[in-house]
Amino acid sequence: MTYRVCFVCTGNICRSPMAESVFRARLAEAGLDDRVDADSAGTGGWHEGDGADPRTVRVLREHGYDSDHIARQFQASWFARLDLVIALDSGHLKALRRLAPTEEDARKVRLLRSYDPAAGDDVDVPDPYYGALDGFEECLEMVEAASEGLLAAVRDEVEGTAA
């Protein structure tokens, strides 16, 4: 059975596609890409059908990540097929938990930076959309740092369910 993770930001063109690309690379490196599926979405539908922000694509490519992406809006019905919903900031966390059809679904929603022990109380990945390229670089650094802890948690879940 495939374990499913969905990363969620505001418009699904900056942070969540970046997190999806980084996490897919981590899954491949760990040999889990055949057992775990990662995708992404936005809390809003403003950019549905668009590709990722060109700055996201540039930063991902410069760091060796794939950047094939089409934006879409998260739907409450998706909770039924997802094991984990990863919010990129506390606003997304609240919105997703409100959208969750059940308490069990609401518990599936976690903050990405909660998987980075070095993050401390700084749990949000800031939205780089209105800034310069360095904001996208900073976003990537935060995503990469949290992806290691997320991978460990997902590996535990996958190996625990397979046993």
Helix axes 133-162, 15-30, angle to 10 degrees: 40
Count structural domains, the chain: 1
pLDDT band at 161 (very low <50, low <70, confident <90, very high): low
Neighbouring C-beta atoms of residue 122, cutoff 10 Å: 11
34 is catalytic: no
**pLDDT at residue 163, as a whole number:** 45
Q: Which residue of the set 6, 14, 15, 39 is catalytic?
A: 15
Residue with tokens 């749990």: 123
Q: How far is Cα 37 from Cα 110, in angstroms, rounded to an integer?
A: 17
Which range of residues forms the domain containing residue 102? Answer: 3-162
The answer to whether the beta carbons of residues 29 and 154 sit under 8 Å apart is: no
pLDDT surpasses 70 at 44: yes
pLDDT band at 160 (very low <50, low <70, confident <90, very high): confident
CATH of the domain at 47: 3.40.50.2300
4 is catalytic: no
